[in-house]
Amino acid sequence: MRLKGKVCVVTGSSRGIGAAIARAYAREGATVAVTYKSSKEAGEEVARECGSELCLPLDVCSRESIRACFAAVAERHDRIDVLVNNAGVNRTGDFDEITDEMWDDVVDTDLKGVFLCCQEALPHLPDNGRVINIGSLSGEYGGPRTPSYAAAKMGVMALTHCMARFVAHRGITVNCLSPGVIDSDLTTQSMPPFLKEKILPLILLGRLGRYDEVTEAAIFLASEGASYVTAQTLSVNGGAWVR
């Protein structure tokens, strides 16, 4: 049990990678606050699986919503030991197809949302707390047809450094976990089969990643074992884009 007694908030944990991280943290002994934006029933199911009484609405684009969510966790458990900023959206299109609305939607959620959550978590994070920001391979290399998403995710890496500097004196670590192409709803929705065929040859291990391969890294970064790891990006991508 690597996270026994830890109070963890995973944003966007009603589905996908966030739900997988929430379940994995619960298996490691953590108390997990599950959050949803629109998928309430799915969130409640994840919370049940996690044995958690906390399934909270959260819109990372709204400071008021974040404040209320974190206050509810702190009211019950006094603190937030681990914050995982996972909530995210992607709107794909070629560079000349991205509208203002598409840009704002992605950057407001994936970059400003992370900033707001980090800022609002500050009063609740104890010394030696952990912040894990979910980045993306796109943010490291500028993924195909994802200009707003790639820009937001690269911003998340910079934000990770800035916050890590700010809280280092309290022993709080802040890292970015950057998944590659993970077999998930987001991938199948946004990636037509022909693109998948184009991408697989660019991955050294020759396959998409699995949720459990991301959750292992998320457990590590939240665990005591990562106490001397901060301001880093941990890429879990099967050796993508290096060919």
Binding ligand NAP by CB under 6 A: which of 28, 59, 81, 140? 59
Shortest CB 6 distance to ligand NAP, Å: 21
149 in catalytic set: yes
* Residues in contact with 164: Cβ distance below 8 Å, sequence separation at least 6, in sequence order: 173, 174, 175, 230, 231
Binding ligand NAP by CB under 6 A: which of 8, 9, 60, 203? 60
Q: Does 179 bind ligand NAP (CB under 6 A)?
A: yes
Number of alpha helices (DSSP H) and beta strands (DSSP E) in the chain? 10, 7
Shortest CB 102 distance to ligand NAP, Å: 14
* Residues in contact with 28: Cβ distance below 8 Å, sequence separation at least 6, in sequence order: 1, 2, 3, 4, 219, 223
Q: Does 11 bind ligand NAP (CB under 6 A)?
A: yes
Shortest CB 149 distance to ligand NAP, Å: 7
Q: Does 92 bind ligand NAP (CB under 6 A)?
A: no
Backbone angles phi, psi at 17, to 5 degrees: -60, -40
How far is 43 from 10, CA to CA, in rounded Å?
A: 11
Backbone angles phi, psi at 233, to 5 degrees: -110, 120
Q: Does 184 bind ligand NAP (CB under 6 A)?
A: yes
Binding ligand NAP by CB under 6 A: which of 109, 146, 160, 232? 109
**Six token digits for residue 198:** 């184009």
Backbone angles phi, psi at 6, to 5 degrees: -80, 140
Shortest CB 9 distance to ligand NAP, Å: 11
Catalytic residue among 141, 149, 211, 228: 149
Q: Which residues are catalytic?
A: 149
For ligand NAP, the binding residues (CB under 6 A) are: 11-12, 14-18, 36-39, 58-61, 86-89, 109, 113, 134, 136-137, 179, 181-182, 184-187
